[in-house]
Structure 1
Amino acid sequence: MASLCIGLLAFPRMTQLDLTGPLQVFASIPGADVRLLWKTLDPVQVQGGFHLLPTTTLADCPTLDVICVPGGPGVQALMEDAEVLSFLRGQAATARFVGSICTGALVLAAAGLLRGKQATTHWASMDLLAPLGAIPTKARVVRDGKFISGGGVTAGIDFALTMVAELAGQAVAEAIQLSIEYAPAPPFNAGSPDTAPPDVLAAVQAQFAAVRGERHAAVERVAAAQGWASG
Protein backbone atom coordinates (compact mmCIF):
# COMPACT_ATOMS: atom_id res chain seq x y z
CA MET A 1 0.00 0.00 0.00
CA ALA A 2 1.41 3.39 -0.97
CA SER A 3 2.20 5.74 1.90
CA LEU A 4 -0.67 7.97 2.96
CA CYS A 5 -0.01 11.56 4.00
CA ILE A 6 -2.48 12.63 6.67
CA GLY A 7 -2.55 16.09 8.26
CA LEU A 8 -4.37 17.23 11.37
CA LEU A 9 -4.59 20.91 12.25
CA ALA A 10 -3.14 21.68 15.71
CA PHE A 11 -4.19 25.14 16.87
CA PRO A 12 -4.44 27.19 20.07
CA ARG A 13 -7.32 26.35 22.42
CA MET A 14 -8.28 23.21 20.56
CA THR A 15 -9.74 20.21 22.38
CA GLN A 16 -6.83 17.79 22.48
CA LEU A 17 -8.90 14.59 22.34
CA ASP A 18 -10.43 15.79 19.07
CA LEU A 19 -6.93 15.44 17.66
CA THR A 20 -5.26 12.74 19.74
CA GLY A 21 -8.09 10.20 19.37
CA PRO A 22 -7.97 10.20 15.55
CA LEU A 23 -4.18 10.62 15.65
CA GLN A 24 -3.81 7.33 17.54
CA VAL A 25 -5.92 5.58 14.90
CA PHE A 26 -4.22 7.16 11.88
CA ALA A 27 -0.74 6.55 13.27
CA SER A 28 -1.57 2.84 13.39
CA ILE A 29 -2.04 2.61 9.60
CA PRO A 30 1.00 0.76 8.23
CA GLY A 31 3.30 3.22 6.50
CA ALA A 32 1.14 6.29 7.15
CA ASP A 33 2.83 9.69 7.33
CA VAL A 34 0.83 11.62 9.95
CA ARG A 35 1.56 15.30 10.52
CA LEU A 36 0.42 17.93 13.02
CA LEU A 37 0.01 21.21 11.16
CA TRP A 38 0.22 24.81 12.27
CA LYS A 39 1.63 28.16 11.20
CA THR A 40 4.86 27.63 13.15
CA LEU A 41 6.59 24.74 14.90
CA ASP A 42 6.29 26.47 18.27
CA PRO A 43 4.38 24.64 21.03
CA VAL A 44 0.63 25.15 20.80
CA GLN A 45 -1.28 25.56 24.06
CA VAL A 46 -4.48 23.55 23.89
CA GLN A 47 -7.61 23.48 26.02
CA GLY A 48 -6.57 22.30 29.45
CA GLY A 49 -3.34 24.28 29.51
CA PHE A 50 -0.76 21.83 28.19
CA HIS A 51 1.07 21.96 24.86
CA LEU A 52 1.35 20.04 21.61
CA LEU A 53 4.21 20.29 19.15
CA PRO A 54 3.34 20.80 15.47
CA THR A 55 5.53 18.84 13.08
CA THR A 56 4.90 20.71 9.81
CA THR A 57 4.08 24.34 9.05
CA LEU A 58 1.22 25.24 6.77
CA ALA A 59 3.71 26.80 4.37
CA ASP A 60 5.81 23.62 4.17
CA CYS A 61 2.93 21.16 4.11
CA PRO A 62 2.98 18.74 1.17
CA THR A 63 -0.12 17.73 -0.75
CA LEU A 64 -2.20 15.67 1.67
CA ASP A 65 -4.32 12.60 1.07
CA VAL A 66 -6.37 13.49 4.15
CA ILE A 67 -6.81 16.81 5.93
CA CYS A 68 -8.64 16.93 9.27
CA VAL A 69 -9.74 19.80 11.50
CA PRO A 70 -10.42 19.21 15.22
CA GLY A 71 -12.65 21.46 17.31
CA GLY A 72 -12.59 23.31 20.60
CA PRO A 73 -12.85 26.91 21.86
CA GLY A 74 -10.15 27.97 19.40
CA VAL A 75 -12.39 27.46 16.37
CA GLN A 76 -13.87 30.93 16.77
CA ALA A 77 -10.53 32.48 15.78
CA LEU A 78 -9.94 29.91 13.03
CA MET A 79 -13.27 30.65 11.38
CA GLU A 80 -12.01 34.15 10.59
CA ASP A 81 -8.35 33.30 9.93
CA ALA A 82 -7.74 33.97 6.25
CA GLU A 83 -4.44 32.04 6.18
CA VAL A 84 -5.95 28.89 7.68
CA LEU A 85 -9.08 29.03 5.53
CA SER A 86 -7.02 29.48 2.36
CA PHE A 87 -4.81 26.54 3.35
CA LEU A 88 -7.84 24.32 3.91
CA ARG A 89 -9.38 25.26 0.57
CA GLY A 90 -6.13 24.48 -1.21
CA GLN A 91 -5.65 21.09 0.43
CA ALA A 92 -9.33 20.17 0.07
CA ALA A 93 -9.14 20.69 -3.68
CA THR A 94 -6.83 17.68 -4.10
CA ALA A 95 -7.29 15.62 -0.91
CA ARG A 96 -8.91 12.23 -1.10
CA PHE A 97 -10.81 12.95 2.12
CA VAL A 98 -11.54 16.11 4.08
CA GLY A 99 -12.57 15.60 7.68
CA SER A 100 -13.65 17.37 10.84
CA ILE A 101 -14.10 16.35 14.42
CA CYS A 102 -16.50 18.12 16.76
CA THR A 103 -16.70 21.88 16.01
CA GLY A 104 -13.94 21.61 13.43
CA ALA A 105 -16.89 21.31 11.04
CA LEU A 106 -17.58 25.00 11.59
CA VAL A 107 -14.11 25.83 10.30
CA LEU A 108 -14.60 23.76 7.15
CA ALA A 109 -17.98 25.44 6.71
CA ALA A 110 -16.45 28.89 7.20
CA ALA A 111 -14.02 28.02 4.40
CA GLY A 112 -17.02 27.38 2.16
CA LEU A 113 -16.23 23.67 1.90
CA LEU A 114 -19.50 22.34 3.32
CA ARG A 115 -21.98 24.37 1.26
CA GLY A 116 -24.83 21.98 0.48
CA LYS A 117 -23.02 19.12 2.25
CA GLN A 118 -24.36 17.01 5.10
CA ALA A 119 -22.24 17.34 8.23
CA THR A 120 -22.33 16.77 11.95
CA THR A 121 -20.65 18.49 14.89
CA HIS A 122 -20.91 18.74 18.67
CA TRP A 123 -24.54 18.76 19.75
CA ALA A 124 -24.23 22.22 21.32
CA SER A 125 -23.17 23.75 17.98
CA MET A 126 -25.34 21.77 15.56
CA ASP A 127 -27.59 24.75 14.84
CA LEU A 128 -24.58 26.81 13.73
CA LEU A 129 -23.92 24.68 10.65
CA ALA A 130 -26.92 25.83 8.62
CA PRO A 131 -26.02 29.56 8.69
CA LEU A 132 -22.72 28.56 7.05
CA GLY A 133 -24.42 26.61 4.29
CA ALA A 134 -24.02 23.06 5.61
CA ILE A 135 -26.84 20.58 6.17
CA PRO A 136 -26.90 19.64 9.88
CA THR A 137 -27.15 15.87 10.21
CA LYS A 138 -27.48 14.28 13.61
CA ALA A 139 -25.22 11.21 13.61
CA ARG A 140 -22.00 9.97 15.15
CA VAL A 141 -20.23 10.06 11.77
CA VAL A 142 -21.54 11.64 8.57
CA ARG A 143 -20.13 11.21 5.06
CA ASP A 144 -21.05 13.31 2.06
CA GLY A 145 -18.76 12.50 -0.84
CA LYS A 146 -15.17 13.02 0.27
CA PHE A 147 -16.25 15.04 3.31
CA ILE A 148 -16.46 13.07 6.56
CA SER A 149 -17.41 14.67 9.87
CA GLY A 150 -17.50 13.29 13.39
CA GLY A 151 -19.64 14.46 16.28
CA GLY A 152 -18.37 15.71 19.60
CA VAL A 153 -14.90 14.80 20.91
CA THR A 154 -15.01 11.00 21.44
CA ALA A 155 -16.74 10.53 18.08
CA GLY A 156 -13.34 11.33 16.62
CA ILE A 157 -12.29 7.71 17.09
CA ASP A 158 -15.37 6.47 15.22
CA PHE A 159 -14.64 9.08 12.56
CA ALA A 160 -11.04 7.92 12.16
CA LEU A 161 -11.90 4.22 12.03
CA THR A 162 -14.54 4.96 9.38
CA MET A 163 -11.95 6.82 7.33
CA VAL A 164 -9.32 4.08 7.77
CA ALA A 165 -11.79 1.53 6.38
CA GLU A 166 -12.05 3.71 3.25
CA LEU A 167 -8.31 4.30 2.99
CA ALA A 168 -6.91 0.88 3.87
CA GLY A 169 -9.83 -1.55 4.09
CA GLN A 170 -12.13 -2.77 6.83
CA ALA A 171 -9.71 -5.45 8.01
CA VAL A 172 -7.06 -2.83 8.78
CA ALA A 173 -9.63 -0.66 10.56
CA GLU A 174 -10.83 -3.59 12.63
CA ALA A 175 -7.27 -4.54 13.53
CA ILE A 176 -6.61 -1.00 14.73
CA GLN A 177 -9.86 -1.00 16.72
CA LEU A 178 -8.77 -4.20 18.44
CA SER A 179 -5.23 -2.97 19.04
CA ILE A 180 -6.48 0.11 20.89
CA GLU A 181 -9.22 -1.96 22.59
CA TYR A 182 -11.89 0.42 21.43
CA ALA A 183 -15.01 -1.18 22.90
CA PRO A 184 -16.90 1.68 24.56
CA ALA A 185 -19.01 0.82 27.60
CA PRO A 186 -19.61 4.13 29.38
CA PRO A 187 -20.60 3.97 33.06
CA PHE A 188 -23.46 6.43 32.56
CA ASN A 189 -26.02 7.03 29.83
CA ALA A 190 -25.39 10.77 29.80
CA GLY A 191 -23.32 11.12 26.64
CA SER A 192 -26.10 12.72 24.58
CA PRO A 193 -28.56 15.55 25.29
CA ASP A 194 -31.27 13.03 24.43
CA THR A 195 -30.31 10.72 27.30
CA ALA A 196 -28.66 12.95 29.91
CA PRO A 197 -30.70 13.83 33.01
CA PRO A 198 -32.36 17.25 32.61
CA ASP A 199 -30.37 18.81 35.45
CA VAL A 200 -27.10 17.59 33.93
CA LEU A 201 -28.08 18.91 30.50
CA ALA A 202 -28.97 22.30 31.97
CA ALA A 203 -25.67 22.50 33.83
CA VAL A 204 -23.62 21.69 30.72
CA GLN A 205 -25.60 24.14 28.60
CA ALA A 206 -24.84 26.84 31.18
CA GLN A 207 -21.18 25.84 31.12
CA PHE A 208 -21.11 26.27 27.33
CA ALA A 209 -23.03 29.57 27.32
CA ALA A 210 -20.05 31.93 27.08
CA VAL A 211 -18.16 30.04 24.38
CA ARG A 212 -21.38 29.45 22.48
CA GLY A 213 -22.03 33.20 22.46
CA GLU A 214 -18.56 33.82 20.99
CA ARG A 215 -19.07 31.08 18.44
CA HIS A 216 -22.48 32.35 17.36
CA ALA A 217 -21.07 35.85 16.88
CA ALA A 218 -18.25 34.45 14.74
CA VAL A 219 -20.73 32.50 12.62
CA GLU A 220 -22.81 35.64 12.10
CA ARG A 221 -19.75 37.62 10.99
CA VAL A 222 -18.57 34.89 8.61
CA ALA A 223 -22.03 34.45 7.12
CA ALA A 224 -22.40 38.20 6.65
CA ALA A 225 -18.94 38.56 5.10
CA GLN A 226 -19.66 35.75 2.63
CA GLY A 227 -23.12 37.05 1.81
CA TRP A 228 -24.78 33.92 3.17
CA ALA A 229 -28.14 33.94 4.88
CA SER A 230 -27.41 33.89 8.60
CA GLY A 231 -30.71 32.33 9.64
Structure 2
Amino acid sequence: MNDEPKYTIGLVIYPDMTQLDITGPHQVFSSIPNTRVLLLWKSLEPVISNGGLTILPNTTFAECPQLDVLCVPGGGFGAVEMMEDAELLNFLKEQEKTTRYITAVCTGSLILAAAGLLQGYEAATHWAFREQLELMGVKVSTARVVVDRNRITGGGVTAGIDFALNIAAILCDENTAKLIELILEYNPLPLFGCGSPENAGAELVKAVMNIGQPLITASLTASQKAASKLFLVS
Protein backbone atom coordinates (compact mmCIF):
# COMPACT_ATOMS: atom_id res chain seq x y z
CA MET A 1 0.00 0.00 0.00
CA ASN A 2 1.40 3.39 -1.06
CA ASP A 3 1.19 6.00 1.69
CA GLU A 4 2.93 8.70 -0.34
CA PRO A 5 0.79 11.84 -0.81
CA LYS A 6 -0.47 12.57 -4.29
CA TYR A 7 0.11 16.32 -3.93
CA THR A 8 2.70 18.33 -2.01
CA ILE A 9 2.00 21.99 -1.34
CA GLY A 10 4.58 24.36 0.14
CA LEU A 11 3.55 27.54 1.95
CA VAL A 12 6.37 30.02 2.51
CA ILE A 13 6.25 31.80 5.87
CA TYR A 14 8.36 34.70 7.14
CA PRO A 15 8.44 37.22 10.00
CA ASP A 16 5.74 39.91 9.81
CA MET A 17 3.69 38.01 7.26
CA THR A 18 -0.11 38.26 7.33
CA GLN A 19 -1.14 34.99 8.92
CA LEU A 20 -4.54 34.72 7.21
CA ASP A 21 -2.76 34.75 3.84
CA ILE A 22 -1.41 31.35 4.88
CA THR A 23 -3.87 29.95 7.41
CA GLY A 24 -6.87 30.47 5.10
CA PRO A 25 -5.29 28.53 2.21
CA HIS A 26 -3.77 26.03 4.64
CA GLN A 27 -7.25 25.09 5.88
CA VAL A 28 -8.37 24.43 2.32
CA PHE A 29 -5.21 22.65 1.21
CA SER A 30 -5.18 20.38 4.25
CA SER A 31 -8.71 19.31 3.28
CA ILE A 32 -7.61 18.08 -0.16
CA PRO A 33 -7.34 14.26 -0.13
CA ASN A 34 -3.85 12.73 -0.24
CA THR A 35 -2.14 16.09 0.19
CA ARG A 36 0.88 17.03 2.27
CA VAL A 37 1.13 20.70 3.26
CA LEU A 38 4.54 22.09 4.23
CA LEU A 39 5.33 25.34 6.02
CA LEU A 40 8.63 26.54 4.55
CA TRP A 41 11.24 28.89 5.99
CA LYS A 42 15.01 29.28 6.21
CA SER A 43 15.11 27.47 9.54
CA LEU A 44 12.75 25.64 11.88
CA GLU A 45 12.68 28.54 14.33
CA PRO A 46 9.22 29.98 15.18
CA VAL A 47 7.95 32.74 12.89
CA ILE A 48 5.82 35.56 14.29
CA SER A 49 3.17 37.06 12.03
CA ASN A 50 2.26 40.75 11.96
CA GLY A 51 -0.75 39.95 14.15
CA GLY A 52 1.42 38.31 16.80
CA LEU A 53 0.48 34.71 15.95
CA THR A 54 3.46 32.34 16.17
CA ILE A 55 3.72 29.77 13.39
CA LEU A 56 6.15 26.85 13.34
CA PRO A 57 7.77 25.95 10.03
CA ASN A 58 8.16 22.21 9.45
CA THR A 59 10.52 22.23 6.47
CA THR A 60 13.52 24.37 5.57
CA PHE A 61 14.25 25.75 2.13
CA ALA A 62 17.24 23.42 1.92
CA GLU A 63 15.09 20.35 2.65
CA CYS A 64 12.14 21.29 0.44
CA PRO A 65 11.01 18.36 -1.73
CA GLN A 66 9.46 18.46 -5.18
CA LEU A 67 6.31 20.60 -4.96
CA ASP A 68 3.07 20.68 -6.88
CA VAL A 69 2.18 24.14 -5.54
CA LEU A 70 4.33 26.86 -4.00
CA CYS A 71 2.50 29.73 -2.29
CA VAL A 72 3.89 33.02 -0.98
CA PRO A 73 1.80 35.16 1.42
CA GLY A 74 1.75 38.91 1.79
CA GLY A 75 2.63 40.85 4.89
CA GLY A 76 3.64 44.13 6.46
CA PHE A 77 7.16 45.52 6.34
CA GLY A 78 8.32 41.91 6.44
CA ALA A 79 7.03 41.47 2.89
CA VAL A 80 9.04 44.51 1.81
CA GLU A 81 12.13 42.94 3.35
CA MET A 82 11.42 39.68 1.54
CA MET A 83 11.35 41.55 -1.77
CA GLU A 84 15.06 42.16 -1.23
CA ASP A 85 15.96 38.95 0.59
CA ALA A 86 18.45 37.12 -1.63
CA GLU A 87 17.99 33.74 0.05
CA LEU A 88 14.22 33.73 -0.40
CA LEU A 89 14.34 35.13 -3.93
CA ASN A 90 16.89 32.52 -4.99
CA PHE A 91 14.77 29.78 -3.41
CA LEU A 92 11.73 30.95 -5.39
CA LYS A 93 13.70 31.06 -8.65
CA GLU A 94 14.98 27.52 -8.10
CA GLN A 95 11.51 26.22 -7.23
CA GLU A 96 10.07 27.81 -10.35
CA LYS A 97 12.08 25.34 -12.45
CA THR A 98 10.25 22.29 -11.12
CA THR A 99 7.05 23.38 -9.30
CA ARG A 100 3.82 22.90 -11.21
CA TYR A 101 2.08 26.03 -9.90
CA ILE A 102 3.74 29.20 -8.59
CA THR A 103 1.23 31.15 -6.52
CA ALA A 104 0.75 34.02 -4.09
CA VAL A 105 -1.84 35.74 -1.96
CA CYS A 106 -2.12 39.49 -1.36
CA THR A 107 1.26 41.28 -1.48
CA GLY A 108 2.97 37.93 -1.84
CA SER A 109 2.60 38.75 -5.54
CA LEU A 110 5.09 41.58 -5.06
CA ILE A 111 7.62 39.07 -3.73
CA LEU A 112 7.10 36.78 -6.72
CA ALA A 113 7.43 39.76 -9.03
CA ALA A 114 10.65 40.87 -7.31
CA ALA A 115 12.03 37.39 -8.03
CA GLY A 116 11.17 37.92 -11.71
CA LEU A 117 8.49 35.24 -11.69
CA LEU A 118 5.50 37.34 -12.78
CA GLN A 119 6.91 39.35 -15.67
CA GLY A 120 4.59 38.89 -18.65
CA TYR A 121 1.86 37.37 -16.47
CA GLU A 122 -1.47 38.72 -15.28
CA ALA A 123 -1.79 38.73 -11.49
CA ALA A 124 -3.77 40.05 -8.54
CA THR A 125 -2.65 41.67 -5.30
CA HIS A 126 -4.09 43.81 -2.52
CA TRP A 127 -5.80 46.82 -4.07
CA ALA A 128 -3.49 49.35 -2.37
CA PHE A 129 -0.40 47.81 -3.99
CA ARG A 130 -1.42 47.40 -7.62
CA GLU A 131 0.86 50.22 -8.80
CA GLN A 132 3.88 48.47 -7.32
CA LEU A 133 3.05 45.22 -9.11
CA GLU A 134 2.68 47.00 -12.44
CA LEU A 135 6.10 48.64 -12.00
CA MET A 136 7.67 45.17 -12.09
CA GLY A 137 6.29 44.24 -15.49
CA VAL A 138 3.11 42.52 -14.34
CA LYS A 139 -0.30 42.91 -15.96
CA VAL A 140 -2.41 43.82 -12.94
CA SER A 141 -5.93 42.48 -12.54
CA THR A 142 -8.65 43.64 -10.16
CA ALA A 143 -10.10 40.12 -10.05
CA ARG A 144 -10.23 38.29 -6.73
CA VAL A 145 -8.35 35.31 -8.16
CA VAL A 146 -6.28 35.25 -11.35
CA VAL A 147 -5.12 32.10 -13.16
CA ASP A 148 -2.58 32.77 -15.91
CA ARG A 149 -1.01 29.54 -17.11
CA ASN A 150 0.77 28.10 -14.05
CA ARG A 151 0.71 31.34 -12.08
CA ILE A 152 -2.23 31.68 -9.68
CA THR A 153 -2.68 34.75 -7.49
CA GLY A 154 -5.26 36.02 -5.04
CA GLY A 155 -6.14 39.58 -4.08
CA GLY A 156 -6.06 40.95 -0.54
CA VAL A 157 -5.98 38.74 2.56
CA THR A 158 -9.44 37.10 2.56
CA ALA A 159 -9.11 36.18 -1.12
CA GLY A 160 -6.80 33.42 0.04
CA ILE A 161 -9.71 31.05 0.61
CA ASP A 162 -11.15 31.67 -2.88
CA PHE A 163 -7.64 31.27 -4.27
CA ALA A 164 -7.12 27.94 -2.50
CA LEU A 165 -10.49 26.57 -3.62
CA ASN A 166 -9.50 27.38 -7.20
CA ILE A 167 -6.31 25.38 -6.72
CA ALA A 168 -8.27 22.48 -5.22
CA ALA A 169 -10.44 22.43 -8.34
CA ILE A 170 -7.36 22.53 -10.61
CA LEU A 171 -5.46 19.78 -8.77
CA CYS A 172 -8.47 17.53 -8.25
CA ASP A 173 -11.80 18.54 -9.74
CA GLU A 174 -14.66 20.95 -9.19
CA ASN A 175 -16.62 18.52 -7.04
CA THR A 176 -13.73 18.18 -4.59
CA ALA A 177 -13.48 21.96 -4.31
CA LYS A 178 -17.25 22.20 -3.80
CA LEU A 179 -17.11 19.58 -1.06
CA ILE A 180 -14.38 21.53 0.77
CA GLU A 181 -16.32 24.77 0.37
CA LEU A 182 -19.35 23.19 2.03
CA ILE A 183 -17.32 21.49 4.78
CA LEU A 184 -15.86 24.90 5.67
CA GLU A 185 -19.29 26.51 5.33
CA TYR A 186 -17.63 29.12 3.17
CA ASN A 187 -20.63 31.34 2.62
CA PRO A 188 -19.40 34.90 3.27
CA LEU A 189 -21.81 37.75 3.85
CA PRO A 190 -19.77 40.90 4.61
CA LEU A 191 -21.30 42.94 7.39
CA PHE A 192 -20.85 46.31 5.69
CA GLY A 193 -20.07 45.38 2.08
CA CYS A 194 -17.14 47.81 1.88
CA GLY A 195 -14.31 45.30 1.44
CA SER A 196 -13.22 46.65 -1.94
CA PRO A 197 -12.26 50.20 -2.95
CA GLU A 198 -15.01 50.14 -5.55
CA ASN A 199 -17.64 49.65 -2.84
CA ALA A 200 -16.04 51.51 0.06
CA GLY A 201 -16.31 55.08 -1.19
CA ALA A 202 -13.59 57.72 -1.56
CA GLU A 203 -13.53 58.81 2.08
CA LEU A 204 -12.94 55.34 3.48
CA VAL A 205 -10.36 54.52 0.80
CA LYS A 206 -8.46 57.70 1.66
CA ALA A 207 -8.50 56.79 5.36
CA VAL A 208 -7.04 53.34 4.66
CA MET A 209 -4.40 54.79 2.36
CA ASN A 210 -3.40 57.29 5.05
CA ILE A 211 -3.07 54.52 7.65
CA GLY A 212 -1.03 52.36 5.30
CA GLN A 213 1.08 55.13 3.77
CA PRO A 214 4.42 54.18 5.40
CA LEU A 215 4.08 50.59 4.22
CA ILE A 216 2.82 51.60 0.77
CA THR A 217 5.75 53.98 0.34
CA ALA A 218 8.26 51.35 1.48
CA SER A 219 6.85 48.75 -0.91
CA LEU A 220 6.91 51.28 -3.74
CA THR A 221 10.60 51.93 -3.13
CA ALA A 222 11.34 48.19 -3.03
CA SER A 223 9.32 47.68 -6.23
CA GLN A 224 11.25 50.41 -8.01
CA LYS A 225 14.54 48.80 -6.97
CA ALA A 226 13.36 45.40 -8.10
CA ALA A 227 12.12 46.77 -11.41
CA SER A 228 15.50 48.39 -12.08
CA LYS A 229 17.27 45.05 -11.52
CA LEU A 230 14.73 43.03 -13.50
CA PHE A 231 14.72 45.27 -16.54
CA LEU A 232 18.52 45.62 -16.44
CA VAL A 233 18.81 41.84 -16.62
CA SER A 234 16.14 41.64 -19.31
| 2:69 counterpart letter in structure 1 | V
Deviations 1:8-57 (CA, angstroms, capped at 9, x unpaired): 00101000000000000000011100000000111001111221100100
Show the 5 A alignment for 1:27-38: 27-38=30-41
Deviations 1:47-89 (CA, angstroms, capped at 9, x unpaired): 1122110010001111111000000112111111111111111
- Name 1:21's counterpart in structure 2: 24
**TM superposition outliers: structure 1 runs of 4+ over 6 Å:** none
- Name 1:224's counterpart in structure 2: 228
Report whether the alignment pairs 1:52 with 2:80: no
What's the CA shift for 1:202?
A: 1.6
- Name 2:155's counterpart in structure 1: 151
* Cα distance in structure 2, aligned partners of 1:87 and 1:106: 15
> So what's the TM-score if we normalise by structure 1?
0.96
- Name 1:199's counterpart in structure 2: 203
- Name 2:95's counterpart in structure 1: 91
* Cα distance in structure 2, aligned partners of 1:171 and 1:122: 29
* Cα distance in structure 2, aligned partners of 1:2 and 1:43: 26
Deviations 1:175-219 (CA, angstroms, capped at 9, x unpaired): 000000001111111100111133222211111101011101111
Report whether the alignment pairs 1:211 with 2:180: no
Q: Which moved more, 1:219-228 or 1:18-27?
A: 219-228
Query: Is the CA contact 1:131–1:228 (under 8 Å) kept in the aligned structure 2?
Result: no
* Cα distance in structure 1, aligned partners of 2:53 and 2:196: 27
- Name 1:118's counterpart in structure 2: 122
Query: Is the CA contact 2:19–2:53 (under 8 Å) kept in the aligned structure 1?
Result: no
SS in 2 for 1:12: coil
- Name 1:77's counterpart in structure 2: 81
| 1:178 counterpart letter in structure 2 | L
Q: Percent identity?
A: 48
Please point out which of 59, 64, 67 is paired with 1:61: 64
What root-mean-square deviation, in Å, do the aligned CA atoms of Structure 1 and Structure 2 show? Answer: 1.4
* Cα distance in structure 2, aligned partners of 1:129 and 1:197: 23
Report whether the alignment pairs 1:12 with 2:18: no
Structure 1 unmatched runs, 5+: none
> So what's the TM-score if we normalise by structure 2?
0.95
Query: Is the CA contact 2:154–2:163 (under 8 Å) kept in the aligned structure 1?
Result: yes
What's the CA shift for 1:225?
A: 2.5
- Aligned residues between the structures: 229
* Cα distance in structure 2, aligned partners of 1:81 and 1:219: 13
Report whether the alignment pairs 1:39 with 2:42: yes
- Name 2:109's counterpart in structure 1: 105
- Name 1:162's counterpart in structure 2: 166
Deviations 1:148-173 (CA, angstroms, capped at 9, x unpaired): 00000000000000011000111110
SS in 2 for 1:19: helix
